[in-house]
Structure 1
Amino acid sequence: MKSVKSLSLAVRHLNGACELGGNRPEERKEEYIASAEQNTVCKVSKETVTSLACAAMAALLSSASVQSAETGEDPDPEVEDDFLPPTFHPDPGAAPFGNFPCYYRFHPPAARLNLLPRALLRSLFPAPTSSCLPAPPLLALDVGCNSGELSIALYRHLSLQENDSVNMGSLHIPGDLRFLCFDIDSALIERAEKYNPFPGSVFYKVLDVMDSSARLAVLQPFLNGFGRSTFDIGFCMSVTMWIHLNHGDKGLVEFLDWLASLCNYLLVEPQPWKCYRSAARRLRRLGRNDFDHFRHLTISGDMDKRITGILTAGGAMELVRCFGSTSWDRSILLFKSKSLKLAENEEL
């Protein structure tokens, strides 16, 4: 009964946050979520409180969006940086690497999948017609996978047959698609592994992508297992800003150069510059220092254009297509390795 009472109290606190209204309701979120945690942390699991917090903040965001539509004002274009609840760290609200605990409540995978054709992998990697041998596995890399919801959604979406509307139970996995997904947050990876419906095809690892020795230790054995040195396709969805803020201009360039050398195709969803400012504001509201590199970044402005410039510099990759923008104003860009194009020409 005490647990139920505590849980009910948490809900009231979180509902209170939703009822605040106002043009900038996110300014109160830490107060209510912290209060809910204090009343439940000893009696209710943190996962339950996190779930309640996510639901409450989703309602809060919805309320703010309705109000902004009525008033003509924009509450805040960078949703995940200003509205998401904090992780349960000593410093509430700290997610300096974008490792939000319930990111997909606000940016559901379907919003991205709707922009990507289901036949994407079949069009990029057509099955050989002259061989009776099975096609080799396609290897995919998901950088900064959070808790894995998008990884699984991509796996399902890109593996379905074109006639899935007729035969929903039929799966076409081009050459047995294999996903290697990683994130810096061990708690998120633990959750991803716990709820992974495809443990034989989708693999999760804890990895700081900017640690070159750790990268080698995680990626090399995976690639060697398939006799490969590169991934067929990489996914880098709303990750570039966090690399940029934490490692500066040089770190961003090194990160993108590394991806360009590792992936034959690369799907990138850059955060626009307004998200950088929002992330910095969030830290200041929490009484923390700015990101070390924020005020010294020279790569700024139109981040789609700047990141495209980095990836295509020196002929490493070429921009193949922009699939459009998500409802939260993120472009999804597909790049192709120039070395892959040269190899194709040599075969002709």
Structure 2
Amino acid sequence: MAASTREERHEQVKVENYQCEPGAALYGNFTNYYRFNPPGERLRLIPAVDLLEVFSGGRVVALDVGCNCGDFSVAVYKHLYNLKENRMWISADRLDLKLLGCDIDPDLIRRATESNSFPESISYVTLDVMDSASREAVLKPYLEKLDRTSFDICFCMSVTMWIHLNHGDQGLLDFLLYVSGLCKALLIEPQPWKCYRAAARRLRKLGKSRFNHFSTLSIKGDMAHKIQQFLTTDCNMELVRCFGSTNWDRSLLLFKKRSLSQE
């Protein structure tokens, strides 16, 4: 191979890798996300029994917000079923998990659907969770079909920054109010403030539209603490456990409705 050809290929790989980096898409809907942040990196920190302890057993109905191409949805499904197979399921003789993954990007949802190994238990839908009419049209029928009015648990893995950057401070608070009211338990992974700066910088370098709200955000700094404070103060949630931080320095926080612990 000629030296010029090798150099051209090297530059092409650099561009492809750069464009796939987290932060390079306006809504975080980059196509190779799990190449950079595999689901196991999170789940290795989260004992499945700690998730199941917030339920009474039987059927568990879950929502994965911002599911991308579905890798985490499938991984958490396997994570919980491995617990069942190991006979550690604490309060039921079987686990019936129904999981809905949603994402704003229809191409990612198409990929998730096509690669889904558990279609009877996991389903995917295109949804802008900040569109109240759309989420009513999608989530309410799904819950009604399962004879539920809310989800047992919602997963929000590295979603809050994108909501915040695209919808501002009030949008972030509205999202937290909505999602906490939609579930009994919430596993959330907020991005730290340094990720905001990196996302804005990468988008700018790619010559794409800038985040309109970035320069006007007043909620900043320790984002995990700010989100925890709002959920516990304004959303009737309590922190059950912090599972630590991933290699990307992102906290994994499990909350549940405060009333559940008082019953």
TM score, norm. by length of structure 2? 0.90
- Equivalent of residue 227 in structure 1, options 137, 143, 147: 147
Question: Following TM superposition, by how much is the alpha carbon of 1:109 offset from its aligned partner in structure 2, in angstroms?
Answer: 0.9
C-alpha distance 86-311 of structure 1, shift in aligned 2 (>3 A): closer
C-alpha distance 300-160 of structure 1, shift in aligned 2 (>3 A): same
SS at match of 1:176: strand
How far apart in 2 are the matches of 1:197 and 1:246? 33
Question: Following TM superposition, by how much is the alpha carbon of 1:10 offset from its aligned partner in structure 2, in angstroms?
Answer: 9.7
- Equivalent of residue 65 in structure 2, options 143, 148, 153: 143
Question: Following TM superposition, by how much is the alpha carbon of 1:176 offset from its aligned partner in structure 2, in angstroms?
Answer: 0.6
How far apart in 1 are the matches of 2:93 and 2:249? 31
> What does residue range 181-196 of structure 1 map to in structure 2 within 5 Å?
181-196=101-116
Question: Following TM superposition, by how much is the alpha carbon of 1:85 offset from its aligned partner in structure 2, in angstroms?
Answer: 2.4
C-alpha distance 148-315 of structure 1, shift in aligned 2 (>3 A): closer
Counterpart residue number, 1:109: 39
- How many residues align? The count is 256
Counterpart residue number, 2:168: 248
- Equivalent of residue 135 in structure 2, options 194, 210, 215: 215
Higher radius of gyration, 1 or 2:
1
**Higher RCO (C-alpha under 8 Å, 6+ residues apart):** 2
- Equivalent of residue 197 in structure 1, options 101, 112, 117: 117
> What does residue range 58-137 of structure 1 map to in structure 2 within 5 Å?
83-85=18-20, 95-127=25-57, 135=58, 137=59
Q: Does 1:260 align with 2:180?
A: yes
Query: In structure 2, what residue type is equivalent to 1:151?
Result: S
Q: Does 1:238 align with 2:141?
A: no
Counterpart residue number, 1:270: 190
Question: Following TM superposition, by how much is the alpha carbon of 1:17 offset from its aligned partner in structure 2, in angstroms?
Answer: 5.2
Query: In structure 1, what residue type is equivalent to 2:48?
Result: R
How far apart in 2 are the matches of 1:306 and 1:125? 27
C-alpha distance 251-96 of structure 1, shift in aligned 2 (>3 A): same
Determine if contact 1:208/1:214 at 8 Å carries over to the other structure.
Answer: yes
How far apart in 2 are the matches of 1:337 and 1:126? 14
Counterpart residue number, 2:221: 301
Structure 1 unaligned runs (5+)? 1-8, 19-28, 34-56, 58-82, 88-92, 128-134, 167-171
SS at match of 1:199: coil
How far apart in 2 are the matches of 1:155 and 1:208? 23
SS at match of 2:241: strand
Question: Following TM superposition, by how much is the alpha carbon of 1:339 offset from its aligned partner in structure 2, in angstroms?
Answer: 3.4
Between structures 1 and 2, the one with greater strand share: 2
SS at match of 2:64: strand
Question: Following TM superposition, by how much is the alpha carbon of 1:190 offset from its aligned partner in structure 2, in angstroms?
Answer: 0.3
Determine if contact 1:315/1:338 at 8 Å carries over to the other structure.
Answer: no
How far apart in 1 are the matches of 2:159 and 2:5? 32
TM score, norm. by length of structure 1? 0.69
How far apart in 1 are the matches of 2:97 and 2:133? 26
Counterpart residue number, 1:39: none
How far apart in 1 are the matches of 2:192 and 2:110? 30
C-alpha distance 163-257 of structure 1, shift in aligned 2 (>3 A): same
Percent of paired sites with the same residue: 52
1:115-153 Cα shifts (integer Å, max 9, x gaps): 0102234322244xxxxxxx3x21000000000011100
